[in-house]
Chain A
């Protein structure tokens, strides 16, 4: 977990969503943005802690940081 000053291109607020909603929301936003853009996913679903890194690696995108904020996590993913 890191404190980050990354400025995301887009933010997806999936707090409250059940699995696999947060990951699917992230994938949907990654579809919409250009290569090099950074998408920030906000999720309070614990499963995201494994889902997001696994998918990012599989898809070749880079998980720049995971930040713990109050009751949720912020995942910063750069589109390859």
Chain B
């Protein structure tokens, strides 16, 4: 009997996992004992961290895309299709363009985050973002011609992808505007939903003095309730409001509805054991990356490391061994502090982050990794 592993989602987690499984189970796949299917609703793999640089004219949206079939091992059955339904009792999936159900023995959900700007009235109309390809492209049009006024970055929803990216954006905007001689004509304000500037207190403690030094105004406990695009005002649940000339909003995020429909977790995030990444509500189901509700950042490094753990666990299960690999919360993140300097953090469930002193070397390390990311997606780095 052939064991069937199905991975839903071809982002960082899904691609790395597929290639890891092809590597670890190559002999079994070649012998016909194991089949690995990767299902993605788009033929391209998208590396989202590139979008941070698009509004500043430093990268093109096309730099973030590569065809999945060039990245995924030939032994993987790649299907461009959309999964519409999961039945964890029957261990089957339904596809949008398929008449038959897909049976699985091991299911991995790596469906990622979606943006839900519509949860905040006026945000889609009044705000811009760099958390989507279209958003980053439209923000570039605005930012490149923005020479004076009030630039407001508001973190509306949390959790969101790449928790450091809002800090990076205001640090980069500050530096970029200074270099162009425009900073005195542009006021920058950063808002955050809780009482500090980042969810992690260690990163918040590090970032706040830099913001103060660089005259980046901060509004904490600011949970945007509505955006008024007519008046150019964003109003908070806490009763405050801020006028803006250019609003960059980090929209609320959700997973996909199918996950809640399958009873696997709320808002599209799968409830998992944070060490084994096994779904709590169903057998033979894993989730990883943004999709897994582990409490760690929704970041590419997390998806990368978790994919390695899930690959080892599934390979062990298929071979009849106890699955012993566990995820320890490992997260790596470069944090741009300007256009030519960056910091770096590394942490896990037990060890808090300690941001490195910003340097040009770390900035170039981040850019170098972004270029070599395609080796990660191939399972090589």
Q: In the complex the two chains form, is A16's CB within 8 Å of B274's CB?
A: yes
Q: Given that A19-B201, A20-B158 are contacting pairs, would A27 and B195 also be in contact in the complex, using a CB cutoff of 8 Å? A: no
A58 within 8 A of B: yes
* Nearest CB in chain B: distance from A46 CB, A: 12
- In the complex, the number of residue pairs spanning A and B with C-beta atoms less than 8 Å apart equals 47
Q: In the complex the two chains form, is B237's CB within 8 Å of A30's CB?
A: yes
Interface residues of B (CB under 8 A from A): 119, 158-159, 193-195, 199-201, 221, 223, 225, 237-239, 274, 293, 295-296
* Nearest CB in chain A: distance from B117 CB, A: 14
Q: Which residues of A contact B293 (CB under 8 A)?
A: 17
Q: In the complex the two chains form, is A18's CB within 8 Å of B295's CB?
A: yes
Q: What number of A residues sit within 8 Å (CB to CB) of B? A: 18
* Nearest CB in chain B: distance from A37 CB, A: 14
Interchain Cβ contacts under 8 Å between A and B, 27 examples: A17-B293, A19-B199, A19-B200, A19-B201, A20-B193, A20-B199, A21-B159, A23-B193, A23-B194, A24-B158, A24-B193, A24-B194, A27-B193, A27-B223, A27-B237, A30-B237, A31-B119, A31-B223, A31-B225, A31-B237, A51-B194, A51-B195, A54-B195, A55-B221, A58-B221, A59-B223, A59-B238
Interface bits A38-67 vs B (CB < 8 Å: 1, else 0) = 000000000100010011001110000000
Main secondary structure of the interface of B (DSSP, over half): loop
* Nearest CB in chain B: distance from A26 CB, A: 11
Q: Which 8 A-B pairs have the closest CB atoms?
A: A18-B295, A58-B221, A20-B199, A59-B238, A24-B158, A20-B194, A58-B238, A17-B295
